[in-house]
Structure 1
Amino acid sequence: MSEPSADQTFYEAMVALSLWRNAHPDKKIDSEPPDIVAKRHIVMTRLSSMQEGDIDPWMGQKIESLIRKSTRYIVYLDSHLEVQWWWTQRLSSEEGMSVIQANVMRLSCASHFLLDERSDLLKPPFPKLRAIFRFIPLCRRVTDEQLKANTERARDSAKRIRLLIGESMAMVLNGVKREECEKVQAMAEDQILVAKDQLCRPVFFWWFVTLLLCLAGVAGGLQVAQTYCASSLLHTLTSWTQAGLAGAFGALLSVTTRTRSLRLEPESGKRGLRIEATSRMLIGIGAGILVHLAFEAEIILKSALSSAGDVRNAAHLFLCIASGWSEKILPSLLSRAESFVATPQKDK
């Protein structure tokens, strides 16, 4: 009969340790019988010898990045950058262990977008033109290199985040208090938000700018047409378009200063981010047009209507941009603008 392999001996030792620990939950390590001590020695020897590039005999995963190990536990990233861990003995205090484990899984799922090969955010723009690129060797090479660079950059970012996540698990296995482990997990969560912002911001911002330039082109065309055709309908359309353009510009300023607070999600893809940018722009356009109608109907800033043309136009433009910036601050801005424009009238 052949002797058992090293892996089989390790499995038997791990199973024996687990069974004894479950059968004697109140006993400490110094109370173990000699046969269990021998089994523990086998496990500790195998655990101490594991290095990056080895196959973990217990989890069956390749160790890509070793986060931390001792004779009692090991925490590492496997070839898929998933956090893996196991330990050989009961912790002195397992309070908060389940919370840390749950957070490890939650943060791992939250950072999965960096490893999602189906995400179009990592792909070069204009994917439908790849059929044309096949006939242009230089364009095809540039496109493939860009895709490779984006994928490697996202994987490096995911690895840094997962190392932080794994470190929090290693800390709790080493007996560190739950509060300290959660601080490390909070750092990982901040890194995830930064990665989401860096991935989503270019698509969202440039699509918003593209739409804004298109609207500016329409407003300019209507302005030129108005010089050659004196029409009340054309004048109305021009004024509405200009007011909408001002509101959209205010919305652009708003989303530029608070992109992180918009909570843009990479899972929505380029299409979802473009829809989000379009909806934000439409809100700004609608707010600008509403302010324009209220201004022309003398509902707001009545004192500005009797002022000089420059003051009136400046107040009008200011309110349209402010309405696109934030509808929440519009009432206070209206009252301040009213008093500001009314002051010169009282001085006279």
Structure 2
Amino acid sequence: MKKEKSAKKTQNEVPNEQNYFHLKAGDTDPDLNKEILEVILGTENFCVYLDTDYFVQWKTSDSHQGQSCLGAILNKVASLEAQSQFIAETTVLQTVRRRIGEGLARCLSGYPDEDSFAALHEVEADIHAKNRVISWRWYFLSAMKLTGAAVILFGVLWVFRSFFNNLIGVTAFDIVLGTLCGSFGALLSVMSRSDRLVIDANAGEFLHHLEGYSRIIAGLVGGLLVSLAIKAKLFAGGVTFSGNELALMLFFCTVAGTSERLVPSLIMRVDKFISTSDR
């Protein structure tokens, strides 16, 4: 009789051993010790879910028949999780990770390999699009902030130009204006070449801000060099112009911020001049 009770007890425990395949949100996975945020798909043979850290977790029973594409799918899942780390909004991140988990669930459900990969490729395309949008936003906002400060400073200097001309002199005042115009050209360069920028949001917001600031600062330096060269008659000294000389200088300074060739060519010209003088 005792043996019969023991056998019946064992038979009753078998379903309980499989209960973790029917976990629900809020439960703790007894095997991985992960708290479940959302169950993507749970069956008798496998379970795919998101944990509270928004990572895809999965498990199968011993009786589950593994698919030939499982290894490649798992590699793709890990890659997409890494690619989507830049997403800060939890609701968006949860949606993206859920879609990644759905691709894995298709594989575990026995769907054709191409269906699973197609689902993951769609997620990858959306991740790349989000990556580019966020990267542009970080990069352009930082560039626009610094340029905006230069615009305000330019406006203040121009409105009170009589005061500043008397304070620092006409030449120094013109050079300051030319320097600020270099930032305008740099922003124009950033905006016109947006489709050719190689940026990745996974590098972090700080690096994007640093890149945006450095591009505008490079424009400021270019504007400074060109304005100094014009005042020293090293650049555009032989140009005959019937209009306003200050406007011409500001134009060249703006071009210096936009162009990647003007300032280097000016530096080469000065270097050549120095080399000739030494001889």
TM-score of the superposed pair, with normalisation by structure 2: 0.67
Q: Output one character per residue of 1:207-258: Cα deviation in whole Å (capped at 9) or x when no partner.
A: 42454246426744883335436xxx73332222111111101222333453
Matches within 5 A, 1:129-208: 154-173=89-108, 174-177=111-114, 179-194=117-132, 196-197=134-135, 200=138, 204-205=142-143, 207-208=145-146
Cα distance, 1:206 vs structure 2: 5.7
Cα distance, 1:85 vs structure 2: 1.6
Confirm whether residue 246 of structure 1 aligns to residue 246 of structure 2.
Answer: no
Confirm whether residue 309 of structure 1 aligns to residue 207 of structure 2.
Answer: no
Matches within 5 A, 1:273-312: 274-296=209-231, 305-310=239-244
Cα distance, 1:193 vs structure 2: 0.5
| Unmatched tracts of structure 1, length 5 or more | 12-42, 116-153, 335-348
CA contact (8 A) 2:73 2:117 kept: no
CA contact (8 A) 1:168 1:184 kept: no
Match of 1:320 among 232, 238, 253: 253
d(CA) in 2 for partners of 1:239, 1:292:
8
CA contact (8 A) 1:83 1:165 kept: yes
CA contact (8 A) 1:92 1:175 kept: no
d(CA) in 2 for partners of 1:221, 1:266:
43
Cα distance, 1:297 vs structure 2: 5.6
d(CA) in 1 for partners of 2:191, 2:149:
15
CA contact (8 A) 1:103 1:185 kept: no
1:64 is paired with a residue whose SS is strand
1:112 is paired with a residue whose SS is coil
Match of 2:35 among 38, 41, 62: 62
Confirm whether residue 261 of structure 1 aligns to residue 197 of structure 2.
Answer: yes
Farther off after superposition, 234-243 or 254-263: 254-263
d(CA) in 2 for partners of 1:160, 1:316:
53
2:93 is paired with a residue whose SS is helix
Match of 1:224 among 149, 162, 171: 162
Cα distance, 1:203 vs structure 2: 5.8
Q: Output one character per residue of 1:110-151: Cα deviation in whole Å (capped at 9) or x when no partner.
A: 433545xxxxxxxxxxxxxxxxxxxxxxxxxxxxxxxxxxxx
| Unmatched tracts of structure 2, length 5 or more | 267-279
Computed over aligned residues only, the root mean square deviation of the Cα atoms, in angstroms, reads 4.1
d(CA) in 1 for partners of 2:51, 2:107:
20
TM-score of the superposed pair, with normalisation by structure 1: 0.56
Q: Go from structure 1 to structure 2 and tell me whether the alpha carbon gap of 1:217 and 1:102 turns closer, same or farther (over 3 Å shift).
A: farther
d(CA) in 1 for partners of 2:33, 2:133:
30
d(CA) in 2 for partners of 1:200, 1:211:
17
Percent same amino acid at aligned positions?
24
